[in-house]
Structure 1
Amino acid sequence: MQYFLHAYVNGDTWTNAALNTAKFIGHRKYLSRKVRGWSTAFILDREDLPVSKYGGAWTKSRIHDEDLKSELLTHLQSLGKYVTAAAIIDYLGQPDVAKRYRLKKAISLATAERWMSGCGFRWTMAHGGQYVDGHERDDVVTYQQSIFLPAWYALEPRMWRWSVIGGELVEEQAQGADSQSHIVTWFHDESTFYAHDHRKKRWIHGSETPTPQPKGEGSSLMAADFVSADYGWLRSPDRNESVRVLFHAGKGRDGYFSNDEIIRHAEKAMAILERYYQHDDHVFIFDNAPTHVKRADCSVSARNMPKGCKEWGIDVPVWDANGKIVLGPDGRTLMTKACISNGFFNGSPQEFYWPEGHKHAGKFKGMAQILTERGYDVTNLKAQCKQCASGATTCCCWRILFNQPDFINVEMILESTCSARGFQVIYLPKFHCELNFIEQCWGYAKRIYRCYPMSSKDADLEANVIKALDSGLNGAQAAWAAKKYHGHRVLPSAILEELDNAKVN
């Protein structure tokens, strides 16, 4: 426009000036007409200037429209975690949305992907944050403060202690206990090794080419063991007898490491301790896992109890004469009804089933009758609330029974099995696996295991696991790590580094 107006002012005609301007910048008559129109509009209104398509708003993506971006972001967030660029295409394809934003045709997938970036999304791997579980749940905190810590503090005066003096680890006798009766705590745990687990980082020469890798984690082998700060892995003094269990977990293999396997493992450990370590008192420390805290099938429980008198029992497996569970034609465990155990109130047994001679002989009394015998008025109480209020103890029959001492203090099968032979059992608080120092032992053994050649053969897997557990982290090293760990002289993360440099045979 400026060139055209200069030419016109300098004596050229209106039409020739426009034609010469268009020709000068490489265009034809169409542009000369546009120049005359723009100039006429500008002469009539000095604010009326044409907008260039080569810069500014004309080159901005539609995703810079804040209203459109906000609406797309709200829609994508409503779809959950796994959104796709195609969701933008589908959403903008709706007639009302297309009309609102004056979209004449659908956008391409490439444009949708760019718009995903404009909405703040990135195609990448989601990063895991800090692990959060039920650490601060009321029941977990109560167990930790009221049961676990008092039990540990009661044992601590009779445990051996260690301190670091002049950079050396010094073992001290526990105060208030002679050498013949000090307490040894044995930590139990299971860990799984996979056939295809190997080191990911190493020095790679530039000439090395990628090699095909097996798919998946491969076959697995679970190892279960006990370890203590005093003796390391639980073995006989000559190291010929071991309590380590290697288990091929899974359907169609060895099954699963159930409560029965835990009991047998504990019995194996108690046999070695009774034979070789009678001069110590031993305490087993187990994780608070469902397989560890299982109760007897017929133990006292308010779960599913009816409020009134009726024929009622709990489902229990059918066992044959050889002590094995009987399976039905479909391969599932056969179940039968059995009466639950009787309770205790004020130090005396309380029958939960009506005795012989009663008109309801053999029937379950019901929660109402049981609570009435204990002095509660349950006339207007429901059997169980849909959702009991937090902290409530008397809102329904089930909640009252749930808080009765004989319903709370039901001994676990593992506890009763061990206590019958003079061994105490303590359960770690739920979700606090870091309290079990055997995790450090597993970690170090796996570090060594990953350096062995990878193999899909079960025989090689088992041989590598045994070699890693025995040579990579022997009992003495485990004990040394535990002493340092429980002595709080080093951070747990430093144990593996120190073990690398430890000269312990």
Structure 2
Amino acid sequence: MVKKAYPQDCIVGGPGQRPIILVTHDESTFSSNDGRRQAWIGPARHFLRPKGRGQGIMVSDFLLPWSRLSTESLSEEERTNSDTQLPLYATKYLEYGKTEGYWDGKDLVAHVLEVALPMLRKIYPGYQFLFLFDNSSNHGTYADNALRVQSMSLKSGGLSQKLLRRGYMNGDPAQVQEMTYQAIDSHTGTETTLAKGMKVVLQERGLWKDGLSMHCPKNLCCCAAEILSREEDFLAQKGMLQEEIERSGHLILFLPKFHCELNWIEYYWGEGKRYTRDNCRYTIDDLRSAIPQALATVKNSTIHGHYHRCMRRIQAYRAGLGYGSPEFGKWTENYKSHRRIYFKTGDM
């Protein structure tokens, strides 16, 4: 039984299918010196602002179409009666720089698997979740054993090469090819696992040609790396984030590049940053307390409204309308309710 109320028009799924809930994600940075650009000052007075952006905090968060991802609808017992205690919000904070380092793809995967998914499963049991991510390079991070030529050398062996997972030959998953081999360490006399190089892998596939170099200058199909990268098993290699979400039984989509207007979480960040700028005192301590307060001020009705605005933009793109055109503006902005467009399609 779902304990949290939600708008039914935000749930996808046909008869006999598990209903699907959209879950969007994004990261944003808040800087301690990111304050207002204008101020009222007296005559012959100067408004001095700190130079530079100052220290900052990276925030990673998840939104549903109607609210933040939160366990506030659960009782304290339900929140703690599990293997790990569920947080109130899925929000993750990181003070980037020398102290805590920087957020990377593995951090995001851990955020999804260890925080977001346990919360979603607890609040909405029996549902399937469709995660939306932008096309950040962090979101395309690969597992250490992924089938990627970037992790290989031309020759076999060597401790610097990563041990890759099994591949397959001739486009047939049944023809398994091992990417490692066993060898005896000359120093210790023990058996160790080493990585096959591109040359051996291509020889086993019948694709090696004498004189092939590891790389060619113009991405032509005349080097070992380019030939191997075009093999079906290498082309089918997915990023770590996509692999882990699909392995857990859920869905994932990546938003088009340079189309932040399709993600309603961007407006959520805008609301939060407006609050922090209004309450900015140019110190990292104030920023630490201001960010949670800022995000808490964003109303669920505001999030829900931005979600529907993004859905109307997607519909406008599907109708072939160009962004910025008068027709696009009418489609996406002029409406009487979240479910009804202001005009008919034939009026355009």
The TM-score, its normalising length taken from structure 1, stands at 0.51
Instruction: Report how many aligned residue pairs link the two structures.
Output: 292
Aligned to 2:219: 388
Aligned to 1:87: none
Matches within 5 A, 1:295-310: 295-303=142-150, 305-308=152-155, 310=156
CA distance in 2, matches of 1:262, 1:286: 11
Aligned to 1:257: 103
Corresponding residue SS for 1:214: coil
Q: Which moved more, 1:176-185 or 1:216-225?
A: 176-185
Which letter maps to 2:69? L
Equivalent of residue 194 in structure 1, options 31, 39, 54: 31
Corresponding residue SS for 2:301: helix
Aligned to 1:226: 62
- Asked if 1:378 corresponds to 2:209, the answer is yes
- Asked if 1:487 corresponds to 2:312, the answer is yes
Mark the CA change 1:420 to 1:173 in structure 2 (over 3 Å): closer, same or farther: closer
Equivalent of residue 21 in structure 2, options 161, 174, 184: 184
Aligned to 1:426: 253
Corresponding residue SS for 2:168: strand
Shift of 1:274: 0.6
Aligned to 1:339: 163
Corresponding residue SS for 1:216: coil
Task: Tell me, yes or no, if the aligned pair for 1:233 and 1:474 is still in contact at 8 Å.
Answer: no
- The unaligned stretches of length 5 or more in structure 1 are 1-169, 316-337
CA-to-aligned-CA distance 1:414-441 (integer Å, 9 cap, x gap): 2333233222222334444443331121
Max Rg structure: 1
Task: Tell me, yes or no, if the aligned pair for 2:216 and 2:222 is still in contact at 8 Å.
Answer: yes
Q: Which moved more, 1:402-411 or 1:178-187?
A: 178-187
Which letter maps to 2:160? I
Corresponding residue SS for 2:139: coil
- The unaligned stretches of length 5 or more in structure 2 are 1-6, 75-86, 185-191, 317-322, 338-348
Task: Tell me, yes or no, if the aligned pair for 2:108 and 2:139 is still in contact at 8 Å.
Answer: yes
Q: Which moved more, 1:462-471 or 1:193-202?
A: 193-202
CA distance in 1, matches of 2:211, 2:30: 56
Equivalent of residue 404 in structure 1, options 198, 210, 231: 231
Mark the CA change 1:439 to 1:216 in structure 2 (over 3 Å): closer, same or farther: same
Corresponding residue SS for 2:138: coil
Mark the CA change 1:218 to 1:371 in structure 2 (over 3 Å): closer, same or farther: closer
Aligned to 1:273: 120
Aligned to 1:287: 134
What is the RMSD computed on CA atoms of the aligned residues? 3.4
CA distance in 2, matches of 1:210, 1:284: 48
Shift of 1:481: 0.9
Which letter maps to 1:485? C
Shift of 1:464: 1.6
Which letter maps to 1:247? L
Shift of 1:273: 0.3
CA distance in 2, matches of 1:172, 1:417: 28
CA distance in 2, matches of 1:295, 1:416: 9
Matches within 5 A, 1:308-327: 308=155, 310-314=156-160
CA distance in 1, matches of 2:251, 2:51: 45
Aligned to 1:443: 270
Shift of 1:377: 5.1
Aligned to 1:43: none
Shift of 1:197: 1.6
Q: Percent identity?
A: 26
Which letter maps to 1:404? E
- Asked if 1:464 corresponds to 2:306, the answer is no
- The ranges of structure 1 where at least 4 consecutive aligned residues each deviate by more than 6 angstroms after the TM superposition are 173-176, 489-494
Mark the CA change 1:313 to 1:378 in structure 2 (over 3 Å): closer, same or farther: farther
Mark the CA change 1:306 to 1:413 in structure 2 (over 3 Å): closer, same or farther: closer
Task: Tell me, yes or no, if the aligned pair for 1:298 and 1:341 is still in contact at 8 Å.
Answer: yes
CA-to-aligned-CA distance 1:431-475 (integer Å, 9 cap, x gap): 4444333112111221232222x323333212221222111x233
Task: Tell me, yes or no, if the aligned pair for 1:343 and 1:350 is still in contact at 8 Å.
Answer: yes
Considering Cα pairs closer than 8 Å and 6+ residues apart, tell me whether 1 or 2 has the greater RCO.
2
Task: Tell me, yes or no, if the aligned pair for 2:20 and 2:130 is still in contact at 8 Å.
Answer: yes
Corresponding residue SS for 1:450: helix
CA distance in 2, matches of 1:476, 1:388: 50
Task: Tell me, yes or no, if the aligned pair for 1:181 and 1:279 is still in contact at 8 Å.
Answer: yes
Task: Tell me, yes or no, if the aligned pair for 2:157 and 2:197 is still in contact at 8 Å.
Answer: no
Corresponding residue SS for 2:53: coil
Equivalent of residue 475 in structure 1, options 300, 303, 314: 300
The TM-score, its normalising length taken from structure 2, stands at 0.72
CA distance in 1, matches of 2:125, 2:23: 15
The answer to which structure has the higher helix fraction is: 1
Which letter maps to 1:284? F
Corresponding residue SS for 1:291: helix
CA-to-aligned-CA distance 1:31-76 (integer Å, 9 cap, x gap): xxxxxxxxxxxxxxxxxxxxxxxxxxxxxxxxxxxxxxxxxxxxxx
Mark the CA change 1:304 to 1:438 in structure 2 (over 3 Å): closer, same or farther: closer
CA distance in 1, matches of 2:151, 2:19: 45
